[in-house]
């Protein structure tokens, strides 16, 4: 067996879990609303069928004050018990197990009824919470216990008490948010009274034969966070109070350190859980940026923890455990930690899905059935849109030929994977390469297909996923040898001098700046910890240290025409990281630029009306793309049934999420 630790059962006394995999809590937007939670049930049932040992729902509030946002999910009455029965029944029908997470948002609540230990507004919400009275604290503990009792009644196998990520329980623990002077504030003993009493009350409410997970903030990553000794003490106290498992929480939401995004090294925080091993007697779960079985197995085999938690990897592939057990890991559709379709959606009040798996959270809405009449389909362009389309259509039984002019598949992903910290994008190419093989797609690379190749009756349908080319600007001097396109830099390895101006500050302008700034980049996790100020010796509070960034050898200026801060349209949950990284690299950011010309002296422009010349060795153009769609009309004119998807259809919003979803949709419907 290749993953003996990962796939060994875990005995919790009253119940044995089949393996060491916990599907961690993640809000997906199917939890809220009225009526039975059938879509949420189908979502979890699909993952239970894929063999996960234990799953945890997104955060469910114990009362209205604890809501994440107005009318978000809650478990405090019989109606809600009835709603959730649809989830637990669906999971149990597939032989799975599921715990409900009880989350009180405290000052992170995005509504005017929020309450917290003290009335201190959080930096990430506009509402100032009221301070809970001593009676309010007691009734909140009761609400947690009642919520757990109702969860049991709804058929859940356990609950997880959310004690990390800066939510209410965490707010009690740290002086950063707890300025109380009563028995719930002041000394550490007083500040942890709330979590300890909550665990005790929950255990009393549910009895001994029920899983109670406590999610412990083991590394706060904020000033005034807990010390390591305090973390250990809390772990021991929640164990005494009746927790059956301790899960790892890393970083408050307001922490300015990336904890789950792509640039976080794989398994980069398992060392934190390891520190607690031996200090408590109950099983420990480790988490954050574990996305493949080898990383999970290494963490368990190395003694870092007893279980691993993954959330987003199960959006990307519900059969993750099954594939690991059958040693088909090259078939895993790996989460690339982009956040684009999951967390970014949730923060925009949209239902989550997954960039690499558009079926996620839409289990009841897609119908991908085997075809009754096999058709001959040509897909032109093997970027992610074409790959998604070809493999979905061939998987249903169509006869698919995929043409690619370049020597290999992957399109724009071949550039993205070269950006420091985006190495996981390789997994997507590996996944599709395997899918092409499994679904029997005929792949023709290094072939620029012609209209005659497609229009001579060889194919019943043609799908153009011919992608984009970088936009060429109309600017005097644009043909000067110092001017490069981003694809020449990222894909072709063009030589770039020590002083660079980048025109265009969208996702690719930022990526290009990071690429050029990372002369000293290494994949060593220790460098990531140093650069972001994470103290692995845990000498002070919150595990924070002074960040130490190796300055780039290049002088980089990033320019945009718009007013306002650069990168404002980057991903909601990752944009701040890219902006912070470039700031650390001392990249100069200029807005309100009007470009005038490029010559031997450099880039001539006006910045907010003031004339300037940037004396640079190279100007890199990252000003968006234009579609490659020149085959569409000729094919249609010759009567060929032709469809167009991805960047070829719409370059303005070139986006892998849209491209993969469009490919999957046409592949499922054709
Ligand atoms: P983009 O986001 O559309 O940005 C291109 C930028 O170029 C614009 O912000 C625009 O800003 C500027 N521009 C456009 N036309 C111009 C012109 N004629 N002259 C001068 N400047 C011009 O495109 P992108 O950066 O190529 O990214 C493409 C897509 O890739 C994005 O939609 C994103 O989804 C994805 N992506 C995201 C990330 C990420 O989030 N980290 C990374 C890579 C790619 P001004 O008009 O203000 O100058
Ligand atoms: Fe992972 Fe990106 Fe999918 Fe979210 S959208 S689950 S981060 S691959």
Identify the H or E element spanning 219.
strand 211-219
Mutate to test the pocket of ligand 1, among 416, 425, 506, 573 (most ligand atoms within 8 A of CB): 506
Cβ-based neighbours of 583, under 8 Å, separated by 6 or more: none
Task: Please state the domain extents for the chain.
Answer: 10-304+318-327, 376-468+628-669, 472-518+553-623
Q: How far is the CA of 101 from the centre of ligand 2 (A)?
A: 21
Question: Quick one: pLDDT at residue 524?
Answer: 87
Mutate to test the pocket of ligand 1, among 421, 467, 508 (most ligand atoms within 8 A of CB): 508
Mutate to test the pocket of ligand 2, among 336, 360, 361 (most ligand atoms within 8 A of CB): 336
Which atom of ligand 1 sits closest to the CA of residue 591? 47
Angle at the Cα of 262 from the Cα atoms of 256 and 264, rounded to 5 degrees:
60
Q: How far is the CA of 477 from the centre of ligand 1 (A)?
A: 21
Instruction: Name the least confident of 330-334, 476-480, 517-521.
Output: 517-521
Average pLDDT of span 189-212: 98
- pLDDT, one tens digit per residue, over 550-605 is 888 899 999 999 999 999 999 889 999 999 999 999 999 999 999 999 999 999 99
Mutate to test the pocket of ligand 2, among 292, 348, 354, 572 (most ligand atoms within 8 A of CB): 354
Average pLDDT of span 482-510: 96
10-304+318-327 fold: TIM Barrel (3.20.20)
CA dist 24 and 576 (Å) reads 24
Is the CB of 561 inside a 6 Å radius of any atom of ligand 1?
yes
Which atom of ligand 2 sits closest to the CA of residue 341? 5
Q: Is the dihedral of CA 370, 376, 382, 383 positive or negative?
A: negative
Mean pLDDT of the chain: 96
pTM: 0.95
CB atoms within 10 A of CB 638: 13
Question: Quick one: pLDDT at residue 33?
Answer: 84
C-alpha dist (Å) from residue 223 to 377, 418, 533, 622: 58, 34, 12, 38
Q: What is the DSSP string of 595-647?
A: EEEEETTEEEEEETTEEEEE--SEEEE---EEE--TTHHHHHHTT--EEE-GG
Ligand nearest to the CA of 421: 1
Is the CB of 263 inside a 6 Å radius of any atom of ligand 1?
no
Which residue bears the tokens 């092409």? Answer: 436
- pLDDT, one tens digit per residue, over 323-380 is 999 999 999 999 999 999 999 999 999 999 999 999 999 999 988 999 999 999 999 9
Which atom of ligand 2 sits closest to the CA of residue 342? 4
**CATH architecture, domain 472-518+553-623:** 3-Layer(bba) Sandwich (3.50)
CA dist 426 and 414 (Å) reads 8
CB atoms within 10 A of CB 480: 16
Instruction: Reply yes or no on whether the pLDDT at 438 is more than 90.
Output: yes
Which residue bears the tokens 């996702």? Answer: 507
CA dist 74 and 631 (Å) reads 53
- pLDDT, one tens digit per residue, over 524-547 is 899 999 999 999 999 999 999 999
CA-nearest residue, atom 8 of ligand 2: 335
Average pLDDT of span 517-522: 77
Phi, psi for residue 501 in degrees, rounded to 5: -110, 135
CA dist 306 and 473 (Å) reads 56
Which atom of ligand 2 sits closest to the CA of residue 353? 5
Instruction: Pick one of 3.30.70.260, 3.30.2350.10, 3.30.420.40, 3.40.50.720 as the CATH number of 376-468+628-669.
Output: 3.40.50.720
Ligand nearest to the CA of 504: 1
Ligand 2: lining residues by beta carbon, under 6 Å: 312, 315-316, 335-342, 354-356
Instruction: Reply yes or no on whether the pLDDT at 654 is more than 70.
Output: no
C-alpha dist (Å) from residue 199 to 2, 182, 216, 234: 37, 20, 12, 11
Is the CB of 646 inside a 6 Å radius of any atom of ligand 1?
no
Q: Is the dihedral of CA 361, 364, 367, 368 positive or negative?
A: positive
C-alpha dist (Å) from residue 73 to 65, 101, 168: 12, 11, 16
Q: How far is the CA of 513 from the centre of ligand 2 (A)?
A: 23
Question: Quick one: pLDDT at residue 651?
Answer: 85
Ligand nearest to the CA of 472: 1
Is the CB of 337 inside a 6 Å radius of any atom of ligand 1?
no
Question: Quick one: pLDDT at residue 29?
Answer: 96
State the virtual CA torsion across 348, 349, 351, 355 in degrees, nearest 10: 10
Catalytic-labelled residue, pool 3, 43, 167, 595: 167
Which has more confidence, 200 or 572? 200
Instruction: Reply yes or no on whether the pLDDT at 447 is more than 90.
Output: no
- Catalytic residue at 167? yes
Instruction: Reply yes or no on whether the pLDDT at 653 is more than 70.
Output: no
pLDDT category at 483 given cuts 50, 70, 90 is very high
Instruction: Reply yes or no on whether the pLDDT at 520 is more than 90.
Output: no
């Amino acid at each position: 067996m290749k993953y003996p630790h990962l796939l060994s059962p875990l005995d919790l006394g009253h119940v044995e879990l089949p393996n060491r995999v916990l599907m961690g809590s993640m809000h997906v937007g199917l939890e809220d609303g009225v009526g039975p939670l059938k879509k949420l049930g189908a979502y979890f049932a699909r993952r239970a069928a894929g063999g996960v040992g234990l799953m945890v729902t997104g955060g469910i509030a114990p009362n209205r004050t604890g809501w994440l946002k107005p009318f978000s999910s809650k478990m405090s009455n019989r109606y809600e018990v009835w709603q959730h029965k649809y989830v637990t029944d669906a999971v149990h029908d597939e032989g799975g197990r599921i715990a409900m997470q009880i989350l009180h948002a405290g000052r992170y609540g995005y509504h005017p009824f929020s309450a917290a230990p003290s009335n201190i507004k959080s930096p990430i919400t506009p509402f100032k919470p009221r301070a809970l009275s001593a009676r309010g604290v007691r009734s909140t503990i009761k609400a947690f216990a009642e919520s757990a009792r109702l969860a049991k009644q709804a058929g859940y196998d356990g609950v997880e008490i959310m004690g990390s990520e800066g939510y209410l329980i965490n707010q009690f623990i740290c002086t950063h948010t707890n300025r109380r002077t009563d028995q719930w504030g002041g000394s550490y003993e007083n500040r942890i009274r709330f979590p300890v009493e909550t665990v005790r009350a929950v255990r009393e409410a549910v009895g001994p034969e029920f899983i109670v997970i406590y999610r412990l903030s083991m590394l706060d990553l904020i000033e005034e966070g807990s010390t390591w000794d305090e973390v250990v003490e809390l772990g021991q106290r929640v164990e005494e109070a009746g927790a059956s498992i301790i899960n790892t929480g890393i970083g408050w939401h307001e922490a300015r350190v990336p904890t789950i995004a792509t640039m976080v090294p794989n398994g980069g925080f398992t060392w934190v859980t390891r520190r607690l091993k031996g200090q408590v007697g109950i099983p420990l779960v480790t988490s954050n940026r574990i996305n493949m079985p080898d990383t999970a197995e290494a963490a368990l085999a190395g003694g870092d923890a007893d279980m691993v938690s993954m959330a987003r990897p199960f959006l990307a592939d519900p059969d993750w455990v099954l594939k690991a057990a059958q040693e088909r890991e090259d078939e895993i559709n790996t989460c690339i930690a982009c956040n684009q379709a999951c967390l970014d959606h949730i923060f925009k009040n949209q239902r989550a899905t997954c960039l690499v798996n558009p079926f996620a959270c839409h289990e009841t809405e897609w119908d991908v059935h085997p075809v009754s009449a096999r058709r001959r389909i040509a897909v032109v362009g093997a970027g992610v849109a074409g790959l998604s389309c070809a493999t979905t259509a061939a998987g249903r039984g169509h006869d698919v030929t995929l043409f690619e002019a370049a020597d290999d598949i992957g399109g724009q992903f071949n550039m993205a994977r070269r950006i420091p910290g985006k190495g996981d994008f390789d997994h997507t190419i590996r996944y599709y390469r395997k899918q092409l093989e499994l679904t029997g797609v005929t792949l023709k690379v290094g072939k620029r297909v012609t209209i005659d190749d497609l229009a001579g009756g060889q194919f019943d349908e043609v799908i153009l996923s011919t992608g984009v080319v970088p936009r060429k600007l109309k600017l005097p001097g644009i043909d000067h040898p110092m001017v490069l396109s981003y694809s020449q830099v990222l894909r072709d390895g063009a030589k770039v001098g020590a002083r660079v101006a980048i025109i265009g500050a969208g996702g690719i302008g930022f990526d290009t700046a990071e690429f050029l700034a990372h002369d000293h980049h290494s994949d060593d996790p220790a460098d990531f910890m140093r650069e972001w100020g994470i103290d692995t010796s845990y000498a002070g509070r919150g595990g924070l240290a002074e960040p130490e960034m190796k300055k780039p050898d290049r002088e980089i200026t990033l320019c945009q025409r718009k007013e306002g801060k650069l990168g404002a349209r980057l991903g909601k949950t990752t944009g701040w990281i890219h902006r912070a990284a470039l700031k650390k690299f001392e990249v100069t950011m200029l807005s309100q630029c009007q470009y005038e010309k490029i010559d031997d002296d450099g880039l001539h422009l006006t910045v907010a009306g003031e004339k300037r010349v940037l004396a640079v060795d190279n100007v890199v153009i990252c000003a968006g793309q234009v579609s490659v769609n020149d085959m569409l009309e000729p094919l249609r004119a010759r009567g060929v049934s032709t469809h167009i998807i991805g960047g070829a259809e719409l370059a303005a919003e070139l986006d892998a999420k849209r491209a993969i979803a469009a490919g999957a949709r046409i592949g499922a419907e054709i």
